[in-house]
Structure 1
Amino acid sequence: MSEPLLFHSTRGAGSATLEQAISAGLAPDGGLYVPEALPRLSIDAFADASTLAEVATVLLQPFFAGSTLAGALPDICTESLSFDTPLKPLAQRTNAYVLELFHGPTAAFKDVGARFLAACLARQLRGDSAQPLLTILVATSGDTGAAVAAALHQQPGIQVVILYPDGRVSPRQAHQLGCFGDNVQALRVDGTFDDCQRMAKAMLGDAELQAQRPLSSANSISLGRLLPQMSYYAQASLAIWRTHGTEANFIVPTGNLGNALACVWAREMGLPIGSIHLACNANTTLPDYFAGADYAAHRTIATLANAMDVGAPSNFERLRWTFPYDNELRGQLTASSVSDATIRETITRHAKAHDNVFCPHTATAMHVLDNLPDDGLPRVVTATAHPAKFETVLEPLLGFSPDVPGPLAAMLYRSASAEAIAADEGALKEWLLRETVELSRA
C-alpha cells in the first residue's frame, strides 16, 4: 500500500489523514484542511476518462491513495456523480460555453460535493455501531443546505442541522431547506450568511460541545466537498482541449470561494485551464482585493444573487495557502463586481435576444463574458443553479416562470418548516445540546 497523503490546517495544526480531515470538517485550530502538496497529473492520465465519474476517479486517486477509502473511490464516484454536467455552446459567441451544474437532485452545483461527501461518510460510518451520532452543521446562503440535506436525508448515524439567514434566500430555496424532516433540521437565523458561518465555525471549534455531541461540516470548508468539485472543471477543460487543442478559460460566480477554488486547484494539478475570472455580486471583498486593496472582510450586502452574499469568504485561507504572496495571488485570478441592476438587465437581455434563461448567479458571469472581446478563445461560464429556484426574481423580468425540474417540484410539494434562532453562538450551542435526534443505525 502506498503512503497516504496527509492534510494540514491552513493555520499550521498537525497532520490528519484523509478520513480524519473529511470527518472533522474544520481543523482543530480553526483552519481549513489542505494537502501537504497538490498532486500533479498529465493530460494523458485521463485518456480513458470521459464521464464525470471516470474523470473524478482519476483526478482524486492521489488524494485517496493509501486511505481506507481508496478501494471504494470508483464506486463513490459512480454513486454520487450520476447526473450530467453538460457543456453547452452559446450560439451568439465564438467558442463560448455554459457549464450547466444544476442537473442534480436539488438543482444546484452543490449536489456534486454534497453527494460525494455523503458517500464517503456513509462508508466511514458503516459497521461502526459504537460511534456516536454525528451532527453535520451547515451554514448556507441558499443552495448548500438543500444539497447536503438531500444527500444525507435518513442516513443512519447522522443528523443534519442547517443554518440559513432568514429572509435572505429565495422562497423556493427556503422551502427546500425545511422540507426534509426526519434527521434534518433547518434553523432560520436572524442575521446574515456570515453570521451563520461564524456560528457554525464556533461550534466546530468548541471542544466542550464536541465532547458531548460530535460535529462536522459540509460547507465549502469541507475537504470532502471541495475535492470532487474539481472534477467538473477537469471534465470540461479536457473536452475543450480534445476539441480545440487549447486551454479553457473559466468565469465562475463566487461567494465563499469554494467553487472557484476547485477550478484553481484543478489548474494547479495540470488540467488545461487558462484564465479564471471571479464574478461577484455587490459584495466586493474579492474584487477589492484583486484590484490591489489589502484583504479585509466586508459587511454583507443582500443582493438578487443571494447565494453569493458573502463578506468574509472562508476559502480565501486556502487560496492564500496555494499562493502565499499577494503579488503572486493577484496574478492568478481576476475579479469583478456586478450590481443588481446589471443582473436584471443581463437576465432580461439574454432571455429576449437568445432565449437563454439564467439564474441571478449565472447572470453575473454572463455579464463578464458579454464584456470580453469575441476573440475565439474558449470561454466557459459556470452555471451554478437552475433558474426555476429564483422565480420571484425572474417572473417580474420575463413575464413567466421557468419550468420546474421534477426533483425540485417534488421537494416543493412537501410541507416545510424551520425554527427561528438568534444570530448568537450561545443560542446555537444551547439548541444543539438540547435538541438531539436519536437515530437508529441500519
Structure 2
Amino acid sequence: MELYSTNNPSLKVDFPTAVFNSMPQDKGLYMPQEIPVLDPEFIAQIGDRTFSEIALKVASALIGDAIPTPDLKAIIAETLSFDAPVKELDAETYVLELFHGPSLAFKDFGARFMSRVMGYFLRENEKMLDVLVATSGDTGGAVALGFLGVPNTRVTILYPEGKVSEIQELQLCTNGNNIQAISVNGTFDDCQALVKQAFADQDLADKLRLTSANSINIARLIPQTFYYFNAYAQLAREGKTKVVFAVPSGNFGNIAAGLIAYKMGLPVQQFIAATNANDTVPRFLENGIYETRASVQTYSNAMDVGAPSNWVRIMDLFKGDVAALKKVVSSSSYTDVETQEAIKEIYDTYSYVACPHTAIAYRALKNYLAEQPDHELTGVFLSTAHPCKFPDVFPNDVAAAIAIPEQVNELRARTSAAQKMDPVFADFKTYLQELN
C-alpha cells in the first residue's frame, strides 16, 4: 500500500510510515495512492459473509501486502470482538449501533485496529512510541483502552476542560499505566492545534517518536469502512439494497470512511453529514465558501469541531469536484433544542434511547427521506455512543430507561487524575520534552 499527502501527491510513503508518522511534514493528510474497487460479485453476495470475512476482504484490498493475510486476520479478530448490529425501528428507518465496544463508542473500531497494527509493526527495543490524541469526548476513551498496557507505547490525551461528560472524563483520566490525560483550558480545536503543532515541530521530531491516534491517522479510518459494508450486508439479507446513511459528523472521519467504502464499490444512494451548531460543512455545501470558525459547545460534544480535519480527505476523494461531491453528500445542522426534540421523538415513537449525536443523525435522516420521491429507500442513522455517557441531556422519563453498563459503575470507583494546561504550544512542547 502506497500513500500520498493531500498537499503534495508526489510525496509518497508506505503503510507503516503513514501509520507511525500520522501526518506528513507538509501538514497534509495521507491518502491511499489508489482506492481499490471491489469485485461486483463480492458486493452482490455480501449478505452471505460474516463481519470478519467482510473486514478481511476490505482491509486486504486497502492494505495490500503490507500485512500478510494470516496476521491481518488475527488483527481483525481482535478488533471485532463486539458486534455492530443494524436494528429496525420501522420499515424505512434503521439504526446502526456502534457503541458495543469497551469504551461504548464507535471509535473503538478505529482505536483497537490502530493499536494492534502499531503493535504489529513495532520492533523490540525500538524507541518509545508517543501517541498523541486530541478528543472532544469519545476518541480519547477509545484510544486509552485500545493502547492501555501496549508495550513500548505512551499515550497523551488532550481534552477541553469542562466540555466532556462525566463518564467521558472518567474514561480519559482513570487509566494510569501508560495513559496520561491533559485537561486543556480551551476548546477541542485548541487541543487539535496543539497536536498538529507537535507533529510539525522539528525539535520534537528529533527527540521523540510521535504518532497520532486521531482520525488524521489513516489506520483509524480503514476499520471504520468495515461497518458500512457490514451494515449493507445485514440489510441485503432483508432484500434492502437502496441505502442512505446519516452520519453524526464532527471531525468528519466517520463519514470519510463511509465515502472510501463508497469509492470501493459499496452502492450507497446518499450520505448525510449531520452536524450540530458547528456547521462549517453545511455552510460550505450551501454557499461554496469554506470558512472555519471557533467551535461552540453543544450537547453533542464529540461533534464540537469548527475546523474538521478530514474534510480535506473528502475533497480529495472527489478531486475537488464540489458538484460531484454534492451528488453523494448532503449536510444539515441542528441546534441543541432540535437535538432534544429528536431524542424525545425517538423515545416516544420507538421506545429507543439515542445519545445526542445519534439523535442529530436521526433528525437529518428523517428530514432527508421526507423530501425524497423514492419510497424504496432504506435509511440508516449511525448510533455512535451509548446514551449513558450523556445523562444530563435527557428528560427524566428517557433517562430512566437507560441501562447502565457495568463498566460505567467500575469507572466511578476509580481515582481520576489529569494535568491542567493552557492552550499554549510552548507549554505542551515542554511537557513532551520532559517525558523521557
- TM-score, scaled to structure 2: 0.94
Q: Distance in 2 between matches of 1:426 and 1:89?
A: 51
Q: Which runs of 5+ in 1 are unaligned?
A: 437-442
Q: Distance in 2 between matches of 1:401 and 1:198?
A: 39
8 A Cα contact 2:353 2:401, kept in partner: no
Instruction: State percent identity of aligned pairs.
Output: 37
Partner of 1:369: 365
Q: Distance in 2 between matches of 1:368 and 1:433?
A: 45
AA at the equivalent of 1:104: G
Residue 435 of structure 1: CA displacement? 2.9
8 A Cα contact 1:164 1:187, kept in partner: yes
The DSSP-based 3-state class of the residue aligned with 2:421 is strand
Residues 32-431 of structure 1 mapped to structure 2, 5 A cutoff: 32-45=29-42, 47=45, 50-91=49-90, 94-125=91-122, 128-244=123-239, 246-323=241-318, 324-371=320-367, 372-373=369-370, 375-396=375-396, 398=398, 400=400, 402-431=402-431
Alpha carbons of 1:208 and 1:397: their partners in 2 closer, same or farther (altered >3 Å)? farther
Alignment RMSD, CA only?
1.6
Residue 432 of structure 1: CA displacement? 0.8
Q: Distance in 2 between matches of 1:415 and 1:69?
A: 41
Q: Distance in 2 between matches of 1:194 and 1:401?
A: 34
8 A Cα contact 1:189 1:420, kept in partner: yes
Alpha carbons of 1:55 and 1:413: their partners in 2 closer, same or farther (altered >3 Å)? farther
Q: Distance in 2 between matches of 1:171 and 1:416?
A: 11
Residue by residue, what CA displacement relative to the aligned partner does 1:363-412 show, whole Å, maximum 9, x if unpaired? 00111233232834111010000000101212557352622222333333
Q: Distance in 1 between matches of 2:171 and 2:40?
A: 39
The DSSP-based 3-state class of the residue aligned with 2:288 is coil
Q: Which runs of 5+ in 2 are unaligned?
A: none
Residues 244-253 or 304-313, more deviating: 244-253
The DSSP-based 3-state class of the residue aligned with 1:16 is strand
Q: Distance in 1 between matches of 2:405 and 2:308?
A: 30
Residue by residue, what CA displacement relative to the aligned partner does 1:278-304 show, whole Å, maximum 9, x if unpaired? 110011101101112311111111100
Partner of 2:16: 19
Q: How many residues align?
A: 428
Residue by residue, what CA displacement relative to the aligned partner does 1:3-61 show, whole Å, maximum 9, x if unpaired? xx210011116211111111111112111110111100024236476332221100111
Residue by residue, what CA displacement relative to the aligned partner does 1:225-257 show, whole Å, maximum 9, x if unpaired? 101100000111122234225231100010000
Q: Distance in 1 between matches of 2:408 and 2:262?
A: 33
The DSSP-based 3-state class of the residue aligned with 1:235 is helix
8 A Cα contact 2:251 2:310, kept in partner: yes
Partner of 1:439: none
Partner of 1:435: 435
8 A Cα contact 2:240 2:378, kept in partner: no
8 A Cα contact 1:69 1:120, kept in partner: no
The DSSP-based 3-state class of the residue aligned with 2:282 is helix
AA at the equivalent of 2:378: P
8 A Cα contact 2:242 2:376, kept in partner: no
